[in-house]
A = this chain, B = another copy of it.
Amino acid sequence: MDRFDERILRELKLDGRLSNVLLAERIGLSPSATLRRVQELEKSDVIAGYRAVLNPAQCGIEFIAYVSIGLSNHSKASQLHFEEAISVAKEVVECHNITGSSEYLLRVETKNLAAYKQFHMDVIGNIPQVNAVATSVVMDSPKDERA
């Protein structure tokens, strides 16, 4: 992992479809050397994958919220049950197990407020271990470099 690898990662983070020849030009190496480095970064799992980034507004997503969840008890069984219920909920895009006053932080994306209410009732309301719920609606994201 040297300067070249770092530049490769920087360019590929900005444009995952950058062609190998253009990438080679930008980092100042030949295409073949560049390709070998990229393949090595992929094989060693430094690059986990490539994804198209969609524009939520253009995809019918008009409601985004972070939801902190507190469980009524902290047993392993409770946590696994909760995570299982969350894993099948398509509205939940992220689920983080965090320290602090609540156990989980979710990012939830829905079509609109009505769809969120539905999610709140049908999914959150149906997990018996859930004790406390606090919804923070996202109004704007002045910085968002989610890879």
Contact = CB atoms under 8 A, between A and B. Distances in A.
Given A17-B17, A55-B45, A55-B48, A66 B146 contact: no
A144 B50 contact: no
A16 B97 contact: no
A132 interface: no
Contacts of A52: 9, 12-13, 16, 47, 49-50, 147
Interface in A93-126: 93-100, 105
Interface string A15-27: 1110000000000
A16 B17 CA distance: 7
Copies in the complex: 2
A2 interface: no
Given A46-B58, A100-B136, 20 more contacts: A12-B51, A13-B54, A46-B54, A46-B55, A47-B52, A47-B55, A48-B54, A48-B55, A49-B52, A51-B51, A53-B147, A66-B98, A66-B105, A83-B142, A86-B142, A94-B141, A94-B143, A95-B143, A97-B141, A98-B136
10 contacts: A16-B16, A48-B53, A48-B54, A48-B55, A49-B53, A50-B51, A95-B142, A97-B142, A99-B136, A99-B137
